[in-house]
Amino acid sequence: MGGGAGGSAGAVVLGTGAVVRLLAARVAAAPAPVAVPRLVLLDGRSGSGKTDLAAALAARLGAAVVHMDDLYPGWDGLAAAVGLLEREVLLPLRAGRSPAPPRWDWAAGRWGPRVPVPTAPVVVVEGVGAGCTAVRPELLVWVEAAEGVRRRRALARDGDVFTPHWERWAEQEEALFAGCDVRAGAHVVLDSGPGGDLDGGAGGAPRWGVLRGQVP
């Protein structure tokens, strides 16, 4: 199963800058696809820190970012979004085409206009289920943290919008990762709350436990 309990005993603990340098080095060292962007997929359960990490990595690499939140067709749409990601984003990228997937309008409860993925040397996809397609990326990262830490973060971020749906969404995560063990196949596994929380270690700076993939 996908895991996500957290825990970093014996792990190397790094700040965000060092983790981003580690991931960037792995992307650079991976065999380059022919005339298409390199793909980085960041997966993990809700509240594990994927969005923050994607933003930092994209800034380092000059990458475009695709958020799975834009592809989920509502609160029961986790499994459907995985297929949509493959069809509308990853396969076109691997074929050298410029994808323009539809974006879910959460306020209206329906699909909105298609939005082109910006042209870039690297495309980072972040979100629950990002690593569950048949498309193999140059870098697959699993991000985890203890359930209590994840829930607190997610509800602090999304407030009353997410609170009534937490258990419903968690059940979908459980079902998805029961059949798709992203953690087992990840090049790098990170704990975003090693002995504390992503939001601040002893000095107030984010910390990451590197559970797998310390050396590029």
Give pLDDT tens digits for 126-149: 999 999 999 999 999 999 999 999
Q: For residue 155, what pLDDT band results from cuts at 50, 70 and 90?
A: confident
Coil vs helix vs strand at 169: helix
Coil vs helix vs strand at 40: strand
pLDDT recorded at residue 204: 54
Q: Which residue type sits at 103?
A: R
Q: Which residue type sits at 203?
A: G
Tokens (6 digits) for 85: 């990601």
CA-based max dimension of the chain? 47
150: pLDDT strictly greater than 50: yes
Please compute the mean of the pLDDT values over residues 76-98 and round it to a whole number. 97
Q: For residue 20, what pLDDT band results from cuts at 50, 70 and 90?
A: very high
Going by C-beta distance under 8 Å and a sequence separation of 6 or more, which residues neighbour residue 156?
none
How many CA atoms does the CB half-sphere of 181 hold within 13 Å?
Answer: 4
Q: For residue 10, what pLDDT band results from cuts at 50, 70 and 90?
A: low
**Structure confidence by residue, pLDDT tens digits, 175-207:** 999 999 999 999 999 999 865 455 554 445 678
pLDDT recorded at residue 109: 96
Q: For residue 6, what pLDDT band results from cuts at 50, 70 and 90?
A: very low
Please compute the mean of the pLDDT values over residues 43-47 and round it to a whole number. 96
Please compute the mean of the pLDDT values over residues 67-96 and round it to a whole number. 97
85: pLDDT strictly greater than 90: yes
Centre a 10 Å sphere on the Cβ of residue 185 and count the other Cβ atoms it contains.
Answer: 12
In whole numbers, what is the pLDDT of the chain averaged over residues? 90
Going by C-beta distance under 8 Å and a sequence separation of 6 or more, which residues neighbour residue 182?
2, 43, 44, 131, 132, 140, 142
- What residues are paired with 13 via a beta bridge? 209
Task: List the domains of the chain with CATH numbers.
Answer: 12-30+37-62+122-212 (3.40.50)
